[in-house]
Amino acid sequence: MCESDDCTRMNAISSDPSLVRADFFSRTMTTYSEGGDWQGRTSARLQSFQLRGLRLGIIGMGAIGHRVARIGHFGFETSVQATVSSSRELPAHVQAVDLSTLCSTSDLLVVCTSLNDATRGLLGRKELALLPAGGVLVNVARGAVIDEEALVAFANDPERKTFLVLDVFHESPLDPRHSLVASNASLLTPHMAGITREAEREVGFASARVIQALLAARTDNLNFLETTDESE
C-alpha cells in the first residue's frame, strides 16, 4: 500500500478529471495569485492550447479507441489517424497510417491498445524519438506497451519537448521515488480518472448482466444435453 504524500496527491487529483486539469496549472497559478500577479494568465496562455484543428493519433482501435476517435473528431474537430494490426475497416473519419507516421505526425498520441505479445514494448526509443515537439503522449492502456527503459530515458531527457500523460505504469502503485515522478512536463495519474460513483454502479450492473448471460447459456447447454440424452 502506498501511504506517501506523493501517492495521496496522485490519487486525489485523478479521482475527478476536472481536478486533474486544475492540478496541471495549480503550482503556476498559485504562485501568481500569492504574489498578487493577476496577469499571470499571460504565462498560462503560453502553456495551453486548444484541441480543435490538431491531429489525433490512436494506437489500438478497439472499443475505447473508437470512442476516443469519435470524441476527438466530432467533439473537438480534430483530424484522426490510427494504426491497426489487422485489415479491419476503420470509421470514415479515421485515416489508417503506419506506426512511424503516426508517431511523427500526431499532435496528440493516445495509446489505447491491449497488452499482448505483439504490443509489448511497441513504443521504444525509435518511436519516442519521432514524437513532435509540442506534442502530447497519453497512455491509458497498459504500461508495458511502452518500453520502460526507453520511457524513463525519454522522460528524463532535458531536451524533451513532448508532454507525457501517463495513467498506467509497469508496476502499480508507482513508487514515489521512481524517476518518472520527478520528471518535468509530465502528468501522472493512477488509472483512476474514470472511477466515479456512477461508473462504479454501472460496473456492478454490467457484471450482473454478464453473470445472467453466462447462466442463461449454461442453462441452454444443460437443456441441450438433457434432450440429447433422452433421444439416445
Per-residue pLDDT tens for 92-151?
999 999 999 999 999 999 999 999 999 999 999 999 999 999 999 999 999 999 999 999
Total number of domains in the chain:
2
The verdict on whether 232 is a catalytic residue reads no
The verdict on whether 159 is a catalytic residue reads no
DSSP secondary structure string, 75-124? IH--EEEEE-SS-PPPPTTEEE--HHHHHHH-SEEEE-PPPSTTTTT-B-
What is residue 189's predicted lDDT score, i.e. its pLDDT?
A: 86
DSSP secondary structure string, 16-37? SHHHHHHHHHHHHHHHHHHTT-
Whether pTM exceeds 0.85: no
Does residue 209 fall inside a structural domain? Answer: yes
Does residue 14 fall inside a structural domain? Answer: no
**Domain, as residue range, for 101:** 51-196
Contact 76, 110 (CB under 8 A): no
Assign 33 a pLDDT band (cuts: 50, 70, 90).
low
Does residue 203 fall inside a structural domain? Answer: yes
What is residue 184's predicted lDDT score, i.e. its pLDDT?
A: 82
Assign 181 a pLDDT band (cuts: 50, 70, 90).
confident
What is residue 32's predicted lDDT score, i.e. its pLDDT?
A: 59
What is the percentage of the chain residues whose pLDDT exceeds 70? 72
Whether residue 90 sits in one domain with residue 149: yes
Least confident of 19-33, 55-69, 71-85, 141-155: 19-33
The CATH number covering residue 94 comes to: 3.40.50.720
d(CA 193, CA 97): 29
d(CA 122, CA 147): 7
Q: Which residue has the higher pLDDT, 1 or 114?
A: 114
Does residue 13 fall inside a structural domain? Answer: no
Which residue of the set 77, 149, 171, 202 is catalytic?
A: 171
Whether residue 192 sits in one domain with residue 108: yes
Which residue of the set 55, 127, 142, 160 is catalytic?
A: 142
Does residue 6 fall inside a structural domain? Answer: no
Residue 10 has pLDDT above 60, yes or no: no
The verdict on whether 218 is a catalytic residue reads no
Residue 34 has pLDDT above 60, yes or no: yes
- Dihedral sign (CA 85, 87, 92, 98): positive
Query: What integer is the mean pLDDT of 212-220?
Result: 78
Whether residue 217 sits in one domain with residue 110: no
Does residue 182 fall inside a structural domain? Answer: yes
Which residue of the set 66, 70, 178, 191 is catalytic?
A: 191
Assign 43 a pLDDT band (cuts: 50, 70, 90).
low
Does residue 60 fall inside a structural domain? Answer: yes
Whether residue 207 sits in one domain with residue 186: no
Query: What integer is the mean pLDDT of 17-37?
Result: 51
What is residue 230's predicted lDDT score, i.e. its pLDDT?
A: 40
Whether residue 166 sits in one domain with residue 98: yes
Whether residue 206 sits in one domain with residue 158: no
Per-residue pLDDT tens for 142-174?
999 999 999 999 999 988 989 999 999 999 888
